[in-house]
Amino acid sequence: MARRKKGRAVDGWLVLDKPYDMGSTEAVSKLRWLFDAQKAGHAGTLDPLATGILPIAFGEATKTVSFIQDGLKTYRFTARWGASTTTDDLEGDVLETSDHRPSKADILDILPEFTGTIEQRPPAFSAIKIDGERAYDLARDGEAVVPPAREVTIHSLRLVDCTSADEAVFEAVTGKGTYVRAVVRDMAEALGTRAHVSALRRTAVGPFTEDMAVTFEELTGRDALARLEPGDRNVDRYDDHLTGIEQAMTEYPSVSIGRSEAARLSSGGAAILPIAQVGPIRNGQADDIEPVLAMEGDRPIALCRLEGLKLLPTKVFNIGGH
């Protein structure tokens, strides 16, 4: 006899406005407890000292996490000139200092160097694995960590404001795997100085934006860092804050199917679509298309691959049938 899973079968996304000084794993654990959810995970780590959008998936929504992780991310951050740190942010110890402060004109001149597909070396304190170990674990143990450089894509990088000679505020739209702390470190080197991130906020992840976000205070009526109490687990009021799986997949094609097609996909079989439905999805593209979200009414059925007129399920959602 299968062991019954603990918690409720909660499905959907919560767009959390993560508070300062809370780790992403801690945030997921708190929310999983508050929602009494069987399963939860996040789409993209946010540093403890950063704030902003941390999308958290519950239940069947965890099957769409990889697609959110692959989405564009928008950050607003502050570079503090004059000192580099071991962590490239406020948390670390000072490594080197510099008296040089870049001018606004100098900053604007170098921005094109950090836009597009570039080589970036992740910070020593990062989740990158080196010989099977997390870089931050090795760094905390006192080892000299130099993660290998890799290609990342920065779609846009703009100077928002020079708030003082010591600090400048930027906004960046990045692809997967980009470290803002490394951007600031490398910009400072290009400008002949040293720097670290003194403030960082993520304002969007894929389709999820600030206007969709909820704070711990809005959920519980208590401070985000307060110890959770049994009375905080008021699940009836929390579910209203969930966003559906279809919202997470708005950047990908979707198709409406009937009950018989839904039944076939749910059992792992293929469904044949009318040419009239396939045309808008393909938009002239002849190759296979993946993912395509199949919906029966307002219920997500499966993520599929479209081969010709045939939908083949790659991930089936078990919603309403737990």
What whole-number distance in Å separates Cα of residue 296 and Cα of residue 255?
9
What whole-number distance in Å separates Cα of residue 273 and Cα of residue 308?
9
pLDDT digits over 235-254, tens only? 667 888 999 999 999 999 99
Handedness of CA 107, 110, 116, 120 (dihedral sign): negative
Is position 92 within any domain?
Answer: yes
Q: What's the total number of domains in the chain?
A: 3
Q: Looking at the structure, tell me whether residues 200 and 218 fall in a common domain.
A: no
Q: How far is CA 233 from the centre of its chain?
A: 26
- In DSSP terms, which residues pair with 130 in a beta bridge? 133
Q: Looking at the structure, tell me whether residues 300 and 200 fall in a common domain.
A: no
Comparing 144 with 94, the larger pLDDT belongs to 94
Q: Looking at the structure, tell me whether residues 276 and 305 fall in a common domain.
A: yes
- At residue 125, the pLDDT reads 67
Q: Which residue in 47, 88, 89, 186 is the catalytic one?
A: 47
What whole-number distance in Å separates Cα of residue 183 and Cα of residue 88?
10
Q: Please check whether residue 189 is in contact with residue 70, taking contact to mean a CB–CB distance below 8 angstroms.
A: no
Largest CA distance in the chain: 70
Q: Please check whether residue 202 is in contact with residue 50, taking contact to mean a CB–CB distance below 8 angstroms.
A: yes
Q: Looking at the structure, tell me whether residues 124 and 163 fall in a common domain.
A: yes
160-183 average pLDDT score: 96
Q: Looking at the structure, tell me whether residues 164 and 84 fall in a common domain.
A: yes
- At residue 235, the pLDDT reads 65
* Amino acid letter, 108: L
Examine the pLDDT at 124 and tell me if it is beyond 80: no
- At residue 147, the pLDDT reads 77
What is the bridge-based pairing of β-strands 299-307 and 289-296? antiparallel
Q: Which domain range does residue 40 map to?
A: 12-71+207-246
Comparing 104 with 236, the larger pLDDT belongs to 104
- At residue 320, the pLDDT reads 67
pLDDT digits over 45-101, tens only? 898 899 999 999 999 999 999 999 999 999 999 999 999 999 999 988 999 999 999
Is position 322 within any domain?
Answer: no
Give the lowest-confidence range in 130-134, 224-228, 236-240.
Answer: 130-134
Is position 298 within any domain?
Answer: yes
Q: Looking at the structure, tell me whether residues 241 and 297 fall in a common domain.
A: no
Q: Is 93 a catalytic residue?
A: no
Give the lowest-confidence range in 59-63, 161-165, 167-171, 273-277.
Answer: 273-277
SS3 (DSSP) at 280: helix
Q: Looking at the structure, tell me whether residues 65 and 212 fall in a common domain.
A: yes
255-264 average pLDDT score: 96
pLDDT digits over 190-216, tens only? 999 999 999 999 999 999 999 999 999
What whole-number distance in Å separates Cα of residue 63 and Cα of residue 66?
8
Is position 321 within any domain?
Answer: no
Q: Looking at the structure, tell me whether residues 83 and 142 fall in a common domain.
A: yes
- At residue 321, the pLDDT reads 46
- At residue 143, the pLDDT reads 66
